[in-house]
Amino acid sequence: MRLTDYLDKGASLGLDAPCLRFGEQVLNYGAVQELSFQVAAALGRSGIKPGDKVAILSSNDPIAFASVFGISRAGAVWCPINPRNAAAENRDLLDLFDCKALIYKSSYEPLAAEILPELPQLTTLVCLDKSTDLAQSFESWLAGNGDSPAAQTEPIDDVVMLVGTGGTTGKPKGVMLTGHNLEAMSALTLMSYPFEPRPVYLALAPLTHAAGVLCMPVLALGGVIDILATPDLDDFLSVIEARQVTHTFLPPTLIYMLLGHPRLESTDLSSLQCFWYGAAPMSAARLEEALQRIGPMAQLFGQSEAPMMISTMAPKDHYRADGSIAVERLSSAGRPSPLVTLAIMDDGGNLLSRGERGEVVVRSPLVMAGYYKNPEATAEASRFGWHHTGDIGYLDEDNFLYIVDRAKDMIISGGFNVYSAEVEQALMQHPGIRDCGVIGLPDEKWGERVTAVLELQPDATVDPEELKAFVKERIGSVKTPKEILVWPDLPRSKLGKVLKSEIKAQLLS
């Protein structure tokens, strides 16, 4: 399936049904479908050919997202660019991707102006909401003159999307996702979670990431996408109640903030069928609270290289047969999904038994075609014939997957392996802690000392020695932080993940 097939499938169920909603602005399926043909024609007039790369730089916006389907209809490759990236990172991505066209919102004109001089291959610039010194307006671009080439169709194995991995560990890489990859992801979404006809999906997280690809299975069912421009939790709660939202996604950090929101208890959340969480480990203690106060939570685990659905945990899997919360599995990442073969591997390529810890490796139609123009990194990620996720984990006797750490975040203290995620889970059981990051710092005695940096709940205080005793009681003395620091705010990525590399760099400096 191409990206347009999800839209066209939804349109076949009724052209007048709402497709994209942004406040009071509503685009029905017929309008989005027509816009996709117009964008495809304009790209053709601009010299964009099948396989060429087209980037979109915008906050959450219905016209920007509708343009994705025009890119697909032209046979081009969608390159989502996150506006929260630094200018240098976006320049590196556009250069790496060989982008020939950029569609952007005028609020990012300074960013576009900063990156443009170093990208001579970027010959087509279109501004979504007005004409600027750099670019023609979207409206005039669509109107255009001259013949419009017929819409192209790409073979199913062609790359349809190029995703940047982010530059937090050096130069970003470009993940090549095919039609097959997103088809497998959408199929797994539809078979793994509850969906009633015509779902209502609320997209608060950036459509450049998980929130965007989760739209595809919703569109295939003829559902409506409610789009929020900014991550405002007050608006988020209002829209859930007013629009009877059935599905949504938030990273754990925003869920923690939602649990502290004064309007949470008074908002009617009864329409929710599936509240996805993912993109970072979630505290089991906070998840238990969310199940009690929000309702049907649903986990997904994946990565850019194998999007979203390596393992899944549907709302029902959070409960035991008697209806009580299954607290024993809340720290798991669910079970491997039906189209994924998952194993645990040691450094020598040997597959390990249940309960043994090693790297999580997978084989699946979810797995990317490779890293764009980077055969060395592609080969490294596919050693021994498996895709390597870079996560350390294990499978229990019930086939639930537990992620204990990123391989690069493991701490060796006093000769013992300490998994930072395990320490963070213990810390997050304390009611005064909103979020935390655990790292290893050089230590003459221990080799690395376990160090925790905390962000506290509003008006909360903690005594470091009491907190150490709290953690020691739960996971033992070896894993208990030797040093505890409190910061007003933790450094975060664009997706809200705590950046342990930045914490470590600040402390070492």
Please tell me which residue, 211 or 387, carries the higher pLDDT value: 387
- 414-431 b/e with 16+ CB inside 10 Å = b? eeeebbbbbbbbbbbebe
Report the C-alpha gap between 70 and 49 in whole angstroms: 13
User: Above 80 in pLDDT, residue 156?
Assistant: no
pLDDT at 360: 97
> What pLDDT score does 414 carry?
75
Burial of 286 from C-beta contacts in 10 A (0-12 / 13-18 / 19+): buried
Task: Say which residue, 407 or 139, is predicted with more confidence.
Answer: 139
Q: CA 59 to CA 256: how far, in whole Å?
A: 23
Structure tokens at 152: 């192209």
pLDDT at residue 169, rounded to an integer: 45
Q: With contact defined as beta carbons under 8 Å apart, do 160 and 177 qualify?
A: yes
Higher pLDDT, 265 or 86: 265
If 0-12 CB within 10 Å is exposed, 13-18 middle and 19+ buried, where does residue 435 land? buried
Query: In this model, does residue 429 exceed pLDDT 70?
Result: yes
Comparing 148 with 425, which gets the higher pLDDT? 425
Domain definitions of the chain by residue range: 3-178, 410-508
Tell me the pLDDT band of 112, cut-offs 50, 70 and 90.
Answer: confident
Residue whose entry in the numeric block shows the structure tokens 């015509």: 198
Q: Which of 300, 215, 291 is nearest to 251 (CA)?
A: 300
Q: Is the pLDDT assigned to residue 152 strictly greater than 60? A: no
Q: Which residue has the tokens 């939602």?
A: 258
| Closest by Cα among 444, 445, 426 to 436 | 426
pLDDT level of residue 168 (50, 70, 90 thresholds): very low
Read off the pLDDT band of 155 (50, 70, 90).
low
* pLDDT value, residue 208: 77
- Which has more pLDDT, 200 or 406? 200
pLDDT at site 82: 82
- Closest Cα partner for 502 from 426, 434, 437? 437
The C-alpha atoms of residue 398 and residue 336 are separated, in whole angstroms, by 11
Mean per-residue pLDDT for 166-180?
A: 77
pLDDT of residue 97: 95
Tell me the per-residue pLDDT of 34-63, one tens digit each, with 9 for 90 and over.
999 999 999 999 999 999 999 999 999 999
* DSSP run (H or E) holding 77: strand 77-81
Closest alpha carbon to 279 in 247, 308, 305, 306: 308
Whether the per-residue pLDDT at 9 is higher than 70: the answer is: yes
- pTM: predicted TM-score of the whole model, two decimal places: 0.85
The fold for domain 410-508 equals GMP Synthetase; Chain A, domain 3 (3.30.300)
Alpha-carbon distances of 100 from 49, 64, 230, 371, 441, rounded to whole Å: 10, 17, 28, 19, 44
State residue 219's pLDDT score. 97
How far apart CA 106 and CA 78 sit, in angstroms, is: 20
In this prediction, residue 494 carries a pLDDT of 67
Whether the predicted pLDDT of 162 surpasses 50: yes
Q: pLDDT band at 151, cuts 50/70/90?
A: low
Return the sign of the alpha-carbon dihedral for residues 498, 228, 57, 71: positive
Contact 450, 413 (CB under 8 A): yes
Identify the pLDDT of residue 230: 85
- CATH classification code of 3-178: 3.40.50.12780
Per-residue pLDDT, averaged over 71-97, amounts to 88
> 230 Cβ partners below 8 Å, 6+ apart?
59, 60
Classify 154 in phi/psi space as left (phi over 0), alpha (psi -120 to 50) or beta: beta
Mean pLDDT, residues 482-507 taken together: 89
pLDDT for residue 49: 94
Average pLDDT, the chain: 91
Q: What is the pLDDT of residue 167?
A: 45
pLDDT at 443: 86
For the segment 11-34, what is each residue's pLDDT rounded down to a tens digit?
999 999 999 999 999 999 999 999
More confident residue, 307 or 447: 307
